[in-house]
Amino acid sequence: MSLARNLDLLRHLPKVDGLRLTEFGRSADASSPLEEVTAFGDNPGALRMFAFVPEQFQKSRALVVVLHGCGQTAAAYDLGAGWSTLAQHYGFALAMPEQQRINNGNTCFNWFNPEDTARDSGEARSIREMITHMAETHRIDPRRIYITGLSAGGGMTSVMLATYPEVFAAGAIIAGLPYGIASNLREALDGMFHSPQRPERELGDFVRRASNHRGPWPKISVWHGSADRTVNPGNANEIVKQWLDLHDLPLVPMAETNVNGYPRQAWWNKDGETLVESYAITDMAHGTPLGLADNDQRYGVEGAFLIEAGISSSYHIAKFFGLTGWIADAKQAEAKPARSPAPHLARSIRAAVAEPAEPKPEERRGLDLGQIITRALTAAGLMK
């Protein structure tokens, strides 16, 4: 499809989809426990702020920033992806910025506008002010601040991780785009529809130029449907390359496993901590994947760009952030007899032992069997 046809398609999107998406957002508002916060600080991006604070916090208080996709509201995405249900169950706070039509006719975050994607400017600055407000008001642990988003919200998640990397411990991007690939609508459309490949060093430099920060960098989880026709799935690979370069990790995955039937790739550091992971949701279109979690609970409701896929991305993202292991699930695990690893995990351990990842020169002396098994367990999500 030509760029001209892509532009023509976008011109007609409000007429085709605007009513359906807007109605979905309105119907969800009454069902969400989010409350609007009006006096959160400077707001150069003219965004609205919604928040949820659970009655009981984890001992070390955590905050997750959640960014909706185009055509959605904060409440609609909260209901659809199940974040406030997760926050209530596991005891962490939410901040959910919301775009306004005066800024973008399709209520997309402006992830490609230079004035909104620079540190201390526009929408990026507004979201940073919301985080500061939540941290100060609710005594959030500064080491436990995370961010995730869908589509344009995923693009803005990339923006926040690049412009304020010192703020976030980790981030998760769903059907989004890497930071720095666009500074106008034409480049944004080219990235969305075609996802031109770039050298990993170039992608990493986009982030390094966004602030004076030089590490450590946030951990990153990337999710994308292989049948996405709105944001080219190649963007997932470009995001992964961007963050592998920042973390100084090889392009070849250190582990490849299946989670709920979908391929997951993982990369870790010398201590066995997973720094980058990527899920490819086979045959899924553009949206956030929904399904039962490991604890047999469902988080979220199907709707526009919220797709039943048999895997709960919100739950797995919260797990990747380290937010799920301290209450009900842990008690259930203690009550059950120990079980041998699942077959796919056993295979991944055998593969890791048989074919360990090529170590960096400074790591060659430190490899041993115990460390390899630890890394395989980490990659399978059974060890942090």
Q: Which residues are catalytic?
A: 151
Contacts of 254 (CB under 8 A, 6+ apart): 266, 267, 268, 352, 357, 375, 379
Strand 262-268 with 35-37, pairing: unpaired
Q: Where are the beta strands (DSSP E) in the chain?
A: 35-37, 48-52, 63-67, 93-98, 145-150, 170-174, 219-225, 255-259, 262-268, 274-281, 288-290, 306-308
Q: Cβ atoms within 10 A of the Cβ of 163, count?
A: 22
Report DSSP state, residue 274: E
Q: How far apart are CA 83 and CA 315, in angstroms?
A: 8
- Of the candidates 141, 69, 152, the one whose C-alpha atom is nearest the C-alpha of residue 321 is 141
Report DSSP state, residue 280: E
- Of the candidates 255, 359, 324, 263, the one whose C-alpha atom is nearest the C-alpha of residue 89 is 324
Q: How far apart are CA 61 and CA 95, in angstroms?
A: 13
Q: Cβ atoms within 10 A of the Cβ of 90, count?
A: 24
